[in-house]
Amino acid sequence: MLRSLLFIILCSSSVFAQQNFSEDLAKAAYGLTQDQVVYDPRYFVIPYPNGDVPAGLGVCTDVVIRAYRKLGIDLQELVHQDMLAHFNLYPQRWGLKRPDSNIDHRRVPNLMCYFRRFGIELPKSKSGSDYQPGDIVCWDLGSGILHIGLVSQYHGGSGNPLIVHNIGGGQVIEDMLFDYTIIGYFRFEPKE
C-alpha cells in the first residue's frame, strides 16, 4: 500500500513538473511577441555559448531558441555539443564538413533532429486539442521551406491553440496551426 502511494505521488509530481515547464515555456514564448523583431535570415557570427543574433532581428528558429533561453536552456550549446559528437546523424543539406555553433541551432531540420533524439516526438494530429502549451510544431511551407513555432496557452477563433512564431512578420502569435503541412510535433524538456 505504501509503495503504491509513493509511486502515485512520484508520478504526479513528474506530470506536475512537466506541466509547469510547458506552461512556463508557453509564457516565455508569448512574452517574445512583445519585442519588435524584423525577419532576417542572414548568417551571423555570434558568441558561444549563449549567443544570439542582434536584438530586433531573427527567424522562426530564434523564437524557439529565445523562449528556451528565458528558462535557462541554451539550445545553441545543446545542439552544438550533440552535433560535435554525432555530426553524421544530422541533415547534411548545407555541405558543411563540421558543426558551426553560429548557425546549426538556427536550422529547422537540425532542431527537429535534436528534438527527436532528446525529446518526445508526438503523433501529428488534425485535432487542435491534441496540441498543448509549450509543444513545438514544424511545418513544410512548400518548395522545401521549413518552419517552426511554439504552441501558446491561448486559443484563436478557430478553437485551435495559437502559435508563437516568426514567418516573416516578426515574433507574433497567430491562429495558423493547420495552415501548412505539419511535419514534426515535439515536446522537449531537458533532463537535469
pLDDT interval class at 8 (50, 70, 90): very low
Distance in angstroms (rounded) separating the CA atoms of residues 140 and 160: 19
- The per-residue pLDDT for range 11-62, each reduced to its tens digit, is 444 454 567 999 999 999 999 999 999 999 999 999 999 999 999 999 999 9
Work out how many domains the chain is built from and give that number.
1
**In this structure, is residue 60 part of a structural domain?**
yes
**In this structure, is residue 19 part of a structural domain?**
yes
Q: Say yes or no to pLDDT of 9 above 80.
A: no
Q: Cβ–Cβ contacts within 10 Å for residue 187, how many?
A: 18
**In this structure, is residue 192 part of a structural domain?**
no
So what's the pLDDT on residue 19? 76
**In this structure, is residue 163 part of a structural domain?**
yes
What is the H or E stretch that residue 12 is in?
Answer: helix 2-32
Q: Say yes or no to pLDDT of 10 above 90.
A: no
Burial class (CB in 10 A: 0-12, 13-18, 19+), 143: exposed
So what's the pLDDT on residue 12? 43
So what's the pLDDT on residue 6? 37
**In this structure, is residue 41 part of a structural domain?**
yes
Range of the domain at 108: 2-187
Q: Which residue has the cell 559528437?
A: 85
Q: Are 117 and 106 in contact (CB under 8 A)?
A: no
**In this structure, is residue 156 part of a structural domain?**
yes
Task: Share the mean pLDDT of the chain.
Answer: 92
Q: Are 39 and 59 in contact (CB under 8 A)?
A: yes
Asked if omega into 49 is within 30° of 0 (cis), the reply is yes
**In this structure, is residue 140 part of a structural domain?**
yes
CATH number, residue 133: 3.90.1720.10
pLDDT interval class at 80 (50, 70, 90): very high
- The per-residue pLDDT for range 128-180, each reduced to its tens digit, is 999 999 999 999 999 999 999 999 999 999 999 999 999 999 999 999 999 99
- The per-residue pLDDT for range 90-128, each reduced to its tens digit, is 999 999 999 999 999 999 999 999 999 999 999 999 999
